[in-house]
Amino acid sequence: MTNHDAVISTPPPKAKSRENVAVRYHHSTNLPELLINLDVSVLITTYQAGKVVSLGVHKGKIQGGFTHFDRAMGLTRTPRGLTLGTQKAIWYLPADRQIAAHIQPEQEYDIAFLARSCHLTGPLMSHDLAFDGEKLWIVNTLFNCLATLEEDWNFVPQWKPPFIAEYLPGDRCHLNGLAMSEDGRTPAYVTTLGDTDQENGWRDQKATGGCLIDVNLNKIILRGLSMPHSPRIYQGELYFLNSGHGSLNRYDPATKSHEIIANLPGFTRGLDIWAGHAFIGLSQIRETAIFSGLPIEENLEPLKCGLGVVNLMTGNLVGTFWFDNGVEEVFAVTVLPGYHNPVLIGPDTELDGTQTIWRVPPVTALNS
């Protein structure tokens, strides 16, 4: 294992003052080589710490970056860069390779994502995000629906589970996960923590009431799950996280059966798959009523927070990144293919302790 220390600035809840929080983390010794061989870097969101964490490799060593966004949650790649869901807005971060090389320290980063604009949604409890090539889909947990974004509206409702009667605010089933079709054009599957139309009704059945729903059939296809999250289609197969058990599962629509691919030492939430490897977020469960009574509490070993990389062929955990303190929950995990060391410049460079970047067109373009 390789140990690291970092310092992130965080605003304490309900306070205007800012404090520095020491974050210690360590990773498996093979993680730098694994990321280089897979030709990827990784982004992790944590709403508990209000950060997007970037994991890259520079000169053979893991580089960790921390960028502040209020309650950072869903994250997805787009042709232009990244889109990030936060407490009250969806942020757009265009990618820029040229600027990346000049961000201090120079020549260390190979891609930069720069916060430039946001769409105000209000506090939707938005979870997974996905881009279909033309528009952004969001899992609108507060309104129990899938929605898209259009300029004139906070959001546009597009689909709701069959047991939800109306598009009304009130977290009834805790709709959270979205898998797009294999071609990425349409929503295919979602996960919920219950199948109730009563506000907060999912809480009473959280240990065994989770569902996997086929959006096209408008039908529940798998019941009895424990707080499932993050469904994803990869090479024609459907994977999801049975979070309350701390597992990565695979579902076969033809046989209506599912199997456990791997058990991991944490509450599994946040999944991306690349080159036969699943990148899985792991969290320590909080001492609250929401997370009490889950099967994962029976684990003899302490639960961990961080990232686990699983080889889908063998089910083996082949790489790890662990937060020792400062970060206790992971929400989303997104792989960046083709880039080894990303940097994010958020909306508050003072809080992040990063340089301000002005992105302007060339002078020649302005004078033409």
pLDDT digits (tens, 9 = 90+) for 338-360: 999 999 999 998 888 888 888 88
State the average pLDDT over residues 127-141. Answer: 97
What pLDDT score does 246 carry?
A: 96
Q: Are 56 and 341 in contact (CB under 8 A)?
A: yes
What pLDDT score does 16 carry?
A: 40
Instruction: Say which range, 5-9, 36-40, 204-208, 250-254, has the weakest mean pLDDT.
Output: 5-9
What pLDDT score does 264 carry?
A: 97
Give the integer Cα–Cα distance in Å for 285 and 203.
Answer: 15
Residue 36, classed as helix, strand or coil, is helix
Task: State yes or no: pLDDT of 140 exceeds 90.
Answer: yes
Domains, the chain: 2-367 (2.120.10.30)
Instruction: Provide the 8-state DSSP code for 318.
Output: E
What pLDDT score does 353 carry?
A: 87
Task: State yes or no: pLDDT of 366 exceeds 60.
Answer: no
| Predicted TM-score (pTM) of this structure | 0.92
State the average pLDDT over residues 217-229. Answer: 97
What pLDDT score does 9 carry?
A: 45
Confidence band for 4, pLDDT divided at 50, 70 and 90 = low
Confidence band for 13, pLDDT divided at 50, 70 and 90 = very low
Task: State yes or no: pLDDT of 289 exceeds 50.
Answer: yes
Q: Are 251 and 225 in contact (CB under 8 A)?
A: no
β partners of residue 61: 58
Give the integer Cα–Cα distance in Å for 150 and 147.
Answer: 10
φ, ψ (nearest 5 deg) of residue 142: -65, -40
Task: Read off the pLDDT of residues 17-29 as tens digits, 9 standing for 90 and up.
Answer: 445 667 889 999 9
Task: Read off the pLDDT of residues 56-69 as tens digits, 9 standing for 90 and up.
Answer: 999 999 999 999 99
Confidence band for 10, pLDDT divided at 50, 70 and 90 = very low
Task: Read off the pLDDT of residues 165-191 as tens digits, 9 standing for 90 and up.
Answer: 999 999 999 999 999 999 999 999 999
- Mean pLDDT score across all residues of the chain: 91
Confidence band for 256, pLDDT divided at 50, 70 and 90 = confident
pLDDT more than 90, % of the chain: 80
Whole-angstrom CA distances from 18 to 45, 168, 193, 348, 350 are 20, 36, 35, 12, 11
**Residue 98 parent element (H or E):** helix 97-100
Confidence band for 327, pLDDT divided at 50, 70 and 90 = very high
pLDDT more than 70, % of the chain: 91
Strands 111-114 and 342-345 turn out to be parallel
Contacting residues for 24 by C-beta, under 8 A, at least 6 apart: 3, 4, 5, 6, 323, 324, 325, 326
Task: Read off the pLDDT of residues 150-170 as tens digits, 9 standing for 90 and up.
Answer: 989 999 999 999 999 999 999
Instruction: State whether the Cα torsion 84-85-87-93 is positive or negative.
Output: positive
Confidence band for 15, pLDDT divided at 50, 70 and 90 = very low
